[in-house]
Amino acid sequence: MSLRDIVTLPDPVLRQVSKPVERVDSEARKLWDDMLETMYDAPGIGLAAVQVGVPTRMLIVDLAKEGEERKPLFVANPLITWSSEAQSDYEEGCLSIPEFYEMVSRPSEIKLSYVGWQGEAQELHATGLLATCLQHEIDHLNGVLFIDHISRLKRERVIKKFAKAQKLGKL
């Protein structure tokens, strides 16, 4: 496993629509492993491949708290097959938008079909934080960021802030 660099706002790769994974092979599993190490190091609870600059439909989630046993969920080619009408609000953050947090409302429960670690078809009924986290990561695969779900004013403010920071970093 090796650490990869996390892409941050305003890098345009974050707005790309990721391509489906053709085969879950050793190369794909190597990417998942690297993503996992990168996410634990950050630390974070979810990471999409595009956040390490690889626009392919792969993500990982692990909600285990520090000190708890790690329980990574490896997801490729996810498809949300059902979303509840009921919504939940969570304060979200993103490793690609460091130190910025906002409340986001999303369906409280989802059903998901996806391809797992061995290339096997999987289904999952997710609720609570897991449902929110999966929706956040699946958004990434479609070039969507959590700031797209907040008010335009707040979104423009954070985009401006990161664009300015990037500019200053390049001087």
Which window, 52-60, 63-71, 86-94, 148-156, contacts Zn ion (CB under 5 A)?
86-94
- Tracing tokens 């391509």 back to the chain, one arrives at 19
Which window, 13-21, 62-70, 92-100, 161-169, contacts Zn ion (CB under 5 A)?
92-100
Element housing 140 (H / E):
helix 128-141
DSSP structure class, residue 119: S
- Bridge partners (DSSP) listed for residue 124: 112
Element housing 39 (H / E):
helix 26-41
User: Order of strands across the sheet with 58-61?
Assistant: 46-48, 58-61, 73-83, 109-115, 121-127
Binding of Zn ion by 104 (CB under 5 A):
no
Q: Which residue is nearest to Zn ion (CB)?
A: 94
Nearest distance from residue 136's CB to Zn ion, in Å? Answer: 5
Among 94, 110, 147, 150, binds Zn ion (CB under 5 A): 94
Nearest distance from residue 132's CB to Zn ion, in Å? Answer: 11
In the complex, which residues of this chain contact Zn ion (CB under 5 A)?
Answer: 94
